[in-house]
């Protein structure tokens, strides 16, 4: 089923032995439109601390309960590597994070999640190698440049093949493999215009300098895309 990312902001995060905070943001891979991490705001439990949670550790989003189950303990999360939410997530940080939990590296293998099409729910028995990540030229990987904040990209302009129309209002995510399947685009007046859905497969490129998503669709095609109805969020897309 497709799930609105916007509707998950603020959801409580429930570890196996107590609440740990709420959903603050999502980091997605803009090469293949997959949500790689939830950014958890731990609030008064770990003041000023942000932690990453991979879908490997999460149950399916709760449509009505306003909570996401996390298959980790509070102690595991407390001792996990922290992240500065305003800075890019480095590949070194990702490897440190994955080694800490014992998850398979999603960038190794032919599947969307490494060796699988879905984030697995149980950690592998074997420990992961501890060597630092390397770029193709053999130098250390300094940053995962393709990881982007959904909060930051929300509101970006949408430019079609013949002009600019509207802006991103939401992302529709598959709640099984965590791929972003559709962009919700506000067209017309910012307050009174319609919201339509366009597939992420239509995206040609994203300009972060211009805060613009360029799509391979005409303005007319975007305007006549399927309407987005808030009451249908979570229904099969």
pLDDT at 53: 93
Same domain, 74 and 144: yes
Residue 166 forms part of a structural domain: yes
Same domain, 122 and 215: no
Same domain, 122 and 167: no
Which of 87, 119, 148 is the last residue before a domain boundary? 148
Q: What is the mean pLDDT of residues 146-166?
A: 94
Same domain, 35 and 143: yes
Residue 237 forms part of a structural domain: no
Give yes or no for a contact between 96 and 81, defined as CB atoms under 8 angstroms apart: yes
Residue 138: pLDDT above 80? no
Residue 125: pLDDT above 70? no
Residue 111 forms part of a structural domain: yes
Same domain, 115 and 9: yes
Which of 148, 173, 206 is the last residue before a domain boundary? 148
User: What is the end-to-end Cα distance of the chain in Å, rounded?
Assistant: 6
Which of 148, 172, 191 is the last residue before a domain boundary? 148
Distance, CA of 174 to chain centre = 11
pLDDT at 133: 42
% of the chain residues with pLDDT over 70:
79
Distance, CA of 33 to chain centre = 8
Look at the alpha carbons of 200, 205, 208, 213 in this order and tell me if their dihedral is positive or negative: negative
How confident is the prediction for the chain on average, in pLDDT?
A: 83
Predicted confidence (pLDDT) per residue in 159-212, tens digit: 999 999 999 999 999 989 999 999 999 997 665 679 999 999 999 999 999 999
SS3 138: coil
% of the chain residues with pLDDT over 90:
51
Range of the domain at 194: 150-232
Predicted confidence (pLDDT) per residue in 46-100, tens digit: 887 778 999 999 887 666 668 889 999 999 999 888 776 556 688 888 888 888 9
CATH number of the domain bearing residue 100: 2.30.30.240
Whole-number Å distance between alpha carbons of 112 and 56: 13
pLDDT at 145: 65
Residue 222: pLDDT above 50? yes
Total domains, the chain: 2
Same domain, 41 and 140: yes
Residue 40 forms part of a structural domain: yes
Residue 205 forms part of a structural domain: yes
Closest of 23, 61, 15 to residue 43, by C-alpha: 23
């Amino acid at each position: 089923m497709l799930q609105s990312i916007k509707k998950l902001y603020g959801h409580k995060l429930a570890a196996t032995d107590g609440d740990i905070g709420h959903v603050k943001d999502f980091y997605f891979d803009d090469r293949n439109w997959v949500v790689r991490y939830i950014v958890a705001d731990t609030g008064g439990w770990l003041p000023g601390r942000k932690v990453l949670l991979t879908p490997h550790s999460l149950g399916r989003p709760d449509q009505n309960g306003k909570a996401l189950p996390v298959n980790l303990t509070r102690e595991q999360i407390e001792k996990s590597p922290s992240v500065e939410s305003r800075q890019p997530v480095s590949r070194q940080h990702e490897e440190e994070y994955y080694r800490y939990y014992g998850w398979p590296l999603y960038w190794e293998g032919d599947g969307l999640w490494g060796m699988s099409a879905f984030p697995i729910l149980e950690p592998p028995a074997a420990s992961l190698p501890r060597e630092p990540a390397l770029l193709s030229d053999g130098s250390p990987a300094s940053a995962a440049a393709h990881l982007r904040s959904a909060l930051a990209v929300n509101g970006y302009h949408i430019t079609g093949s013949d002009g600019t129309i509207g802006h991103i209002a939401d992302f529709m995510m598959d709640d099984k493999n965590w791929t972003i399947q559709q962009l919700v685009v506000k067209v017309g007046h910012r307050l009174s215009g319609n919201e339509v859905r366009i597939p992420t497969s239509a995206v040609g490129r994203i300009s972060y300098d211009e805060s613009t998503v360029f799509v391979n669709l005409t303005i007319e095609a975007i305007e006549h895309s399927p309407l987005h109805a808030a009451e249908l969020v979570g229904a099969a897309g």
